Amino acid sequence: MTLREEVEIRKTFAIISHPDAGKTTLTEKLLLFGGAIREAGTVKGKKTGKFATSDWMDVEKERGISVTSSVMQFDYDDFKINILDTPGHEDFSEDTYRTLMAVDSAVMVIDAAKGIEPQTLKLFKVCKMRGIPIFTFINKLDRVGKEPFDLLEEIEKTLDIETYPMNWPVGMGPSFFGIIDRKKRTIEPFRDEENLLHLDEDYQLTTSHAIESDSAFEAAIEELMLVDEAGESFDEAKLLTGDLTPVFFGSALANFGVQNFLNAYVDFAPMPSGRLTEEGDVVEPFDSAFSGFIFKIQANMNPAHRDRIAFMRIVSGAFERGMDVTLTRTGKKLKISRSTSFMADDTQTVNHAVSGDIIGLYDSGNYQIGDTLVGSNQKFHFEKLPQFTPELFMKVSAKNVMKQKHFHKGIEQLVQEGAIQLYRTLYTNQIILGAVGQLQFEVFEHRMNSEYNVDVVMEPVGKKIARWIENEEAITDAMNSSRSILVDDRFGNKVFLFENEFATRWFEDKFPDIKLYSLL
């Protein structure tokens, strides 16, 4: 198989949603259809000992939520599919934002009862900004929810994107009978014992069949005819530019409508796309020279081995285990002899991978998030990945002073994953952690205890306004005060932590020559 043929069968997407919309459950069912797992776990089934395959951390299993992006690869219908299951909780949106930089399309999961929720809106905007295609799965149709037209209108108005329903529900909640496939003119009944029903061009049943809820069926047909009369056709070009989203109705937990969605996804989702470099060029997936970038680092996927994995998206060419690459940030040449593919925390050695694939590189401390790796005789940097300005801060120290070595190792490794940021006060060297949300601190504390056997003392510093400085040479000691704490970030850059907006404006008025800036 040629490189082009290999690349053309790759599909790489992230699943995004608000917490509890059913994102991780949908991921499980997709893996079932791909033959990657025999039985889906469930984030609700703590007593049974079954947990979602994509939720592999202890803290995820205990809380029933995803707090880190998982990567899973499987084969389906002659395609190789890479799924990235992202954290739904807003406190971990930075991890999700970076993950969205590594995919070619996204699947947006919406709770039929709740519609568009805040986190869904935030993540959608990132997808829209990148212009990546979005497929929508409206979940939990077997529960009472909003009317289909209301949901479509909400998506269009709130997200400013056209919708095209690929199927249509018959009933909802207790009266949910099934879904109508608009293209095939078939009804897939919700209950297993029913058979597929066929409709003619006028949506009339081709065989006599008693439907439990005739009124729901009649209402669904009327609604579908209204949709058809609107005359809007499925526009694949608009899908590929992110201006139209195909909409699917179903129930992930009941595994209903999921395979229909998956079949349509592999038909219409794009193959791997190119990526822009800081130098202004586009590296295309069919370029023969190898390149890729690190978008995630995860410590202790196997706590027994204290491993550290750097997740790399291959952008161009082919990866071969044992090949030599250059880390462009440092110019250092590396031989990649240990590489893996993923099923959440289950890994296997990868000998060959191509554009669009996500692989894991065992890391002894060489890599940072955003690093570019290239083959021989190349030198460029892919566009930087987003980094957020933290809003919450905590002083942290080891409870047991005898465990300083483990404490500092844990701090170093968890900070490199990018969910929390590290700062040190001048002179006293006090460690301060910054995060976007409180839950990040709780996960940090849990992981320090469970993975590094260190109990930590965390003292809230509260909300601060962090600002970096363009002209550090102009800073003086007089600028460091209780209302504008001067610290170093982990790269040695100076950062002011201002007490509030008033303190920030006061500082800018008093020291107009200091040029401050924030991250995202």
Q: Which amino acids are annotated as binding site for GTP, given as ranges?
A: 17-24, 85-89, 139-142
Q: Indicate the residue type of 402.
A: M
Say how far apart CA 245 and CA 85 lie, in whole Å.
19
Say how far apart CA 100 and CA 89 lie, in whole Å.
15
Q: Give CA separation, 272 vs 30, 258, 281, 316, 357, in Å.
A: 20, 23, 17, 9, 9
Q: Where is the binding site, in residues?
A: 17-24, 85-89, 139-142
Tokens linked to 12:
């790489």
Q: Indicate the residue type of 458.
A: M
- Which stretches does DSSP call E strand in 204-306? 244-249, 275-276, 282-283, 291-299
Asked if 166 contacts 194 with a C-beta cutoff of 8 angstroms, the reply is no
Asked if 415 contacts 421 with a C-beta cutoff of 8 angstroms, the reply is yes
Consecutive H or E run containing 221: helix 214-230
Tokens linked to 43:
């984030």
What does DSSP assign to residue 48?
G
Residue at token pair 């940097």:
381
CA-angle at 430, arms to 427 and 431, nearest 5°: 135
Say how far apart CA 348 and CA 124 lie, in whole Å.
32
3-25: buried (b, 16+ CB within 10 Å) or exposed (e) per residue?
A: beebbbbbbbbbbbbbbbbbbbb
CA dihedral 485, 487, 493, 494 (to 10 degrees): 30
Say how far apart CA 224 and CA 472 lie, in whole Å.
63
CA dihedral 370, 376, 379, 383 (to 10 degrees): -30
Q: Give CA separation, 347 vs 68, 84, 89, 359, 403, in Å.
A: 17, 15, 26, 10, 31
Tokens linked to 265:
């996804």
Whose CA is closest to 293, among 327, 333, 270?
A: 327
Say how far apart CA 54 and CA 49 lie, in whole Å.
15
Q: What is the CA radius of gyration of the chain?
A: 25
Q: Tell me the torsion sign for CA atoms 59, 60, 61, 62.
A: positive
Q: Indicate the residue type of 96.
A: T
Consecutive H or E run containing 496: strand 494-498
Q: Give CA separation, 338 vs 81, 128, 309, 352, 375, in Å.
A: 22, 35, 10, 12, 17
